[in-house]
Structure 1
Amino acid sequence: MSNTAKKIDGIYLQVKTALSKPENKRRLTLGTAIVIIVAVIFSFSPSKVVHSGNNEDYTVISAADIPLSAKKPPNLSSDKILEIKGAVLNAVIVKIERDEKNELWLFNLDNGEQENIGSGTSVASNFPIGIKGDLVFWLSRDKNTLFGFDIGRKIRFYKPIPAFDPAQGERAKVKLREIPWEVIVGADNFYFFSKDTGEVFSDGNSEVLDLFRQKFKLDEFLSKEELNNIGYVVEEENETSE
């Protein structure tokens, strides 16, 4: 018997003994109900969230267990940049290809930190990063697992994606506890649904994206076409002749 179950049994015996006294029956009825309700709620409150196949359960990994600095920060001028997304808290998410593997890095423009938030995971190269609020989402290379990272709390979570067939117009819907949106995985993009907003696209932060471009001088080693390909909107200058 678990410790929680033992506690509930103890509460039950105490209540039963108290109610055996006639003078206490009426007085204890409401209080007893409250105690039992609290005990039952306590018994079902999970201390750790793990994936169990339930629609709302997923695996959570704390910051202490994520080797955020397991590798050297990327060299933006030599490593292949696949995608850049601006996020909240002056953070920029950069997907790079290095040593034939994809990595996902968080650049904090406030304190200069660079964290390998995709450490220990595989990262799909042909599926874009999703951002909603202070959460970053990506798919595994085989696109069977949804990963997420909470920028503010520095925790990572993941959950298998239900099987779906994009060729048939199907999309996978993933519900995560404590997140007010349903994460929708389409054929080539993330979408987010809540009753308040309906279905919306991924967030973005163009201001912090431009700051990142200036700080790391991306224009010195990336062409306008390359900047467009990784997430910037760069218009070709029209050449005019007098």
Structure 2
Amino acid sequence: MSRQVSLHHYLPSLYFSILLLVSRLDRTLQRWPARIRYITGLLLMVVVVFSWFNFMPFAYGTHFGSMSRCESLRMLGRWKFVCQRSQLPWARPEGAIARRAEAAAAAAVAEEDEDDGESHFYDGEAVDQGAMEGVVDEQDTASSPPPLPQQQQQPVEAAQSAEVAKKAEKAKRVEMAFSATEARAKEVQEKNQLLAEKQALEIKQRELEKRLAAQEAELQRQKQQQQQQPEGMSREMLEEQLRILQAQLQAKEA
């Protein structure tokens, strides 16, 4: 029904709308130069051919190629039924029947696999009581789970051992990280201590340099004083000698 509506209603309306558009364009393009008319006509032809190739599956029921292409070309929500048919065209409905048969067969195989998996467990209520020796408490059989076969116990034990190994490895990593952090903290503390000692030594060295400079200055001053004292004494001695000579000269003149 949808295809009939498309063929008998949508396509005729599209055809007449194309005729109307072409007539209007003909009257409009008569006023333009010949070169512009040719270029516009070629562009319109390219657009028409491209649109026909894209929207051809809507009109003729051919294959889209992919669901994404169908969804991208669907407009105004009127072609939704096409995209919901598993990309099958109308002209070949036998593909849908084949795909349904394949899906049913796959579902049956999955159900058989599930049934086979359920038969591995032990049912305590189905065991013949006469074949068992001794008395079995029904509450114990109902509350306690049945023992697993050896084939199923091995993977469980392997998984448990792997989990224990992972936890042990994680604990080792945490311990190694903690020890590395402690070692780094000790190194930082030692570096800080060495830096403090170095600063103290530098301060002491500066004080010693200041004292040494003061002592050198004092020694220099004392040397200068010692050098000045002999010069003073020699002057006094010369003055005394001059006085003595003057006195002698005066005595001779007299």
- TM bracket, shorter-chain basis: under 0.3
Give the alignment's TM-score, normalised by structure 2: 0.21
In our comparison, the structure showing a higher alpha carbon Rg is: 2
Q: Using CA pairs under 8 Å that are at least 6 residues apart, name the structure with larger relative contact order, 1 or 2.
A: 1
Q: Which structure shows the higher helix fraction?
A: 2
Give the alignment's TM-score, normalised by structure 1: 0.22
